[in-house]
Chain A
């Protein structure tokens, strides 16, 4: 099974940009209404464990929060690999650098261009590692924060958002054309514009290459689906 974990991939934007490969055979919006705040680490931890992890992950120190593989659906698969997944295998140094530049931008100490170039460099590194791992594991989960990281400073700039969705659509196309395995594409939350900037929204997204007719599933419900696929 392949899981593409795309941070802040927005249901409405996928439709607006007609991203057929991201939509796959079945796509829809996820339900994250049980969460007080759409926080990245909390939502991915909840996806990985099937439990609402909001109370267990305080904001302070949230990025360092790490689950053991046997606390997640990875326990059902012996041969697995995850690339940069929050609450599991997050590349601390890369993300700390992105957050530091984000802070510097708001302190007028750096530009959006500098911030975006670091985000893009990290994205390319993850892409390389992810595609190198394709076909070698029973479960491969790759995390890409491009839509979230670029979106926070540029979601309200249509040209920039189109570039992001074109890039993510390209990844989905490459994945789909190189596997017959089940492909789940999922985001933690969506995004909404705040002037030129972007804030987290409840427009979370999922898609599957094999239709299951899910109806606005909760982000915690995919655990059962992954377990079932893994044990089959």
Chain B
């Protein structure tokens, strides 16, 4: 495929994402977008900027677990200033004070420092819609997601009973949910995101670029994220690498979570 064909594809992905973001803004009174500072959520912020001609008209939420890389905090603060973001940084201070940490159990740590922190913020700010940068190709369970996905107060999601989203008609608000998850880049692939980062000249966290033969492919908290062997030190080289790899993007993180979850299940059954 030539560059113009790729640009056509990216423009088509971009159009659909922007229309979804505008649709959500029209439907919901109090929405926000989640930003981890990773490539997907940064591309999503860019799409939000484009949807509203340069200024995002809703808050940008960053969940701070306190265990993130220093590069993440630097990148966050720099871009928030440059893009004039209405940034809300939230933390589960109570859990941190009580000693929650990856060393005491990764699953519990994620639940307390990410999920509970977000739940508390939603309750406090009364958000009725959240834009999230998840993609179907990231993980098996995400392949079942819809573009507009209602959640209850426990963040539960009934994936076995979802409405179809035909002809770009998305799920409308109903009384059965506390907030709507909006996934504008659900249909993108990891490669699409990098191609888009390159085309749009987006700023990107330096952790993604290889140093001494290793780089991060997916960014999370320091103790739970591992590097992959790679020599890709530019966006072009990352794109080239992704065109040939068959290793899943979150391989360095998903297995840790499964392991932590299984350990917890075995504990509950009395095996350890």
User: Distance in Å from the Cβ of A39 to the closest Cβ of chain B?
Assistant: 6
Any A CB within 8 A of the CB of B268: yes
The interface bits of chain B over 247-272 (1 if a CB of A lies within 8 angstroms of the residue's CB, else 0) are 00000001100110111011011111
Closest to A189 in B: B269
How many Å lie between the Cα of A62 and that of B266 in the bound state? 14
Q: Besides A102-B266, A106-B266, 12 other CB < 8 A contacts?
A: A37-B269, A60-B270, A63-B270, A106-B263, A152-B262, A194-B258, A194-B261, A194-B262, A195-B255, A196-B258, A197-B258, A197-B262
The interface bits of chain B over 93-131 (1 if a CB of A lies within 8 angstroms of the residue's CB, else 0) are 000000000000000000000000000000000000000
**A103/B269 contact (C-beta < 8 A), A197-B262, A199-B262 known:** no
User: Distance in Å from the Cβ of A111 to the closest Cβ of chain B?
Assistant: 13
How many Å lie between the Cα of A197 and that of B255 in the bound state? 10
Residues of A within 8 A of B270 (CB): 39, 41, 59-60, 62-63
Question: Total interface residues on A, using CB and 8 Å?
Answer: 20
Q: Are A195 and B272 in contact (CB under 8 A)?
A: no
User: Distance in Å from the Cβ of B173 to the closest Cβ of chain A?
Assistant: 33
How many Å lie between the Cα of A60 and that of B268 in the bound state? 10
Residues of B within 8 A of A17 (CB): none
The A interface, classified by DSSP as helix, strand, loop or mixed, is: mixed
Q: Are A152 and B268 in contact (CB under 8 A)?
A: no
How many Å lie between the Cα of A197 and that of B256 in the bound state? 12
Interface-central residue, B259, B269, B272, by most chain A CB under 10 Å: B269
- Which chain A residues in 156-209 approach chain B with CB under 8 Å? 194-197, 199-200
Residues of A within 8 A of B262 (CB): 106, 152, 194-195, 197, 199
Residues of B within 8 A of A103 (CB): 271-272
Q: Are A99 and B265 in contact (CB under 8 A)?
A: no
Residues of B within 8 A of A46 (CB): none
How many Å lie between the Cα of A39 and that of B266 in the bound state? 10
**Chain A-chain B contacts (Cβ-Cβ < 8 Å), number:** 44
Q: Are B258 and A39 in contact (CB under 8 A)?
A: no
The interface bits of chain B over 11-37 (1 if a CB of A lies within 8 angstroms of the residue's CB, else 0) are 000000000000000000000000000
11 contacting pairs across A/B (C-beta < 8 A): A37-B268, A39-B270, A40-B269, A59-B269, A106-B259, A106-B263, A106-B266, A106-B272, A194-B265, A197-B258, A199-B265
Residues of B within 8 A of A60 (CB): 270
How many Å lie between the Cα of A196 and that of B255 in the bound state? 9
How many Å lie between the Cα of A182 and that of B63 in the bound state? 62
Residues of B within 8 A of A197 (CB): 258-259, 262
Residues of B within 8 A of A39 (CB): 269-270
The interface bits of chain A over 126-162 (1 if a CB of B lies within 8 angstroms of the residue's CB, else 0) are 0000000000000000000000000010000000000
- Which chain B residues in 129-153 approach chain A with CB under 8 Å? none
Interface-central residue, B255, B265, B271, by most chain A CB under 10 Å: B271
Residues of B within 8 A of A40 (CB): 269
Q: Are A195 and B254 in contact (CB under 8 A)?
A: yes
Interface-central residue, B255, B265, B270, by most chain A CB under 10 Å: B270
User: Distance in Å from the Cβ of B261 to the closest Cβ of chain A?
Assistant: 6
Residues of A within 8 A of B268 (CB): 37, 59
How many Å lie between the Cα of A38 and that of B259 in the bound state? 20
**A99/B254 contact (C-beta < 8 A), A152-B266, A194-B262, A194-B265 known:** no
Closest to B254 in A: A195
Q: Are A99 and B271 in contact (CB under 8 A)?
A: yes
How many Å lie between the Cα of A35 and that of B258 in the bound state? 25
Q: Are A102 and B265 in contact (CB under 8 A)?
A: no
- Which chain A residues in 46-80 approach chain B with CB under 8 Å? 59-60, 62-63
How many Å lie between the Cα of A17 and that of B270 in the bound state? 29
Q: Are B255 and A152 in contact (CB under 8 A)?
A: no
User: Distance in Å from the Cβ of B113 to the closest Cβ of chain A?
Assistant: 21
How many Å lie between the Cα of A157 and that of B266 in the bound state? 18
